[in-house]
């Protein structure tokens, strides 16, 4: 194996790594941590007097060790970057038998979201609409997340920004009067508790 082959192998390794890993900003000290690990694992050996084959193998081993560390760091970054998700199963509170699931994505952050899937949502009664609420833990007052309406019975998928940071104890879908008061009507279509 000559130096050109080594360079081509190194380029191929890095191209595969770049294609396999998600785009993420590495921590500032990542290079220093990799260098420390490589130095601890790879002994510095003198060049043999004849040929460069052994040297090429050693360079390949060091590059492979560094690649393994970079891949491990990338996986750790990806896992750390995935926001926490808290789920609740929604159960019907009316004859409509609406069911579904709610997911709080990164509820403790300023970018928290509520993803809601409802199955078999009937049209809202005339002069009414549906409103989605969350109940903060330790509170007895629900907070409105958003509203929606449908003209026919159907499955609904919704995505709302959370108005405040969590944690949250429950989610509720209520039936509200158009132009009615801002408070919860006490008439729920479906509700669920976050575990």
Over the chain (195 residues), what is each successive 10-residue block's mean pLDDT? Answer: 71 67 64 68 55 53 58 52 84 88 92 94 93 94 93 91 93 93 91 91
Give the tens place of pLDDT for each residue, 63-78.
555 556 555 555 544 4
Residue 40, classed as helix, strand or coil, is helix
Write the pLDDT tens digit of every residue in 29-56.
766 776 676 666 655 555 555 544 555 5
Q: How far apart are CA 153 and CA 142, in angstroms?
A: 26
Which residue range is the domain that position 26 belongs to?
Answer: 3-81
Cβ count within 10 A of residue 70? 19
Residues 138, 157 within the same domain? yes
pTM: 0.58
- Domain edge (last residue) among 81, 98, 127: 81
Token pair of 85, please? Answer: 């998700």
Q: Are residue 134 and residue 157 in the same domain, yes or no?
A: yes
Report in angstroms the alpha-carbon separations of 179 from 34, 128, 183, 184, 190. Answer: 61, 9, 11, 13, 21
């Amino acid at each position: 194996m000559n130096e050109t082959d080594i360079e081509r192998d190194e380029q191929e390794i890095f191209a595969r790594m770049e294609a396999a890993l998600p785009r993420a900003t590495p921590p500032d000290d990542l290079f220093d941590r990799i260098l420390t690990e490589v130095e601890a694992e790879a002994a510095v050996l003198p060049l043999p007097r004849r040929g460069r084959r052994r040297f090429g193998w050693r360079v390949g081993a060091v590059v492979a060790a560094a690649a393994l560390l970079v891949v491990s760091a990338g996986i750790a970054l990806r896992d750390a970057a995935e926001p926490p998700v808290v789920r609740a199963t929604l159960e019907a509170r009316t004859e409509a038998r609406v069911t579904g699931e709610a997911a709080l994505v990164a509820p403790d952050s300023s970018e928290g979201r509520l993803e809601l899937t409802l199955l078999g949502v009937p049209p809202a009664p005339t002069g009414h609409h549906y409103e989605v609420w969350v109940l903060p833990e330790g509170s007895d007052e629900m907070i409105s997340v958003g509203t929606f309406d449908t003209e026919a019975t159907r499955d609904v998928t919704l995505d709302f920004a959370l108005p405040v940071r969590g944690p949250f104890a429950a989610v509720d879908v209520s039936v509200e009067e158009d132009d009615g008061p801002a408070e919860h009507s006490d008439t729920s279509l479906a509700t669920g508790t976050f575990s």
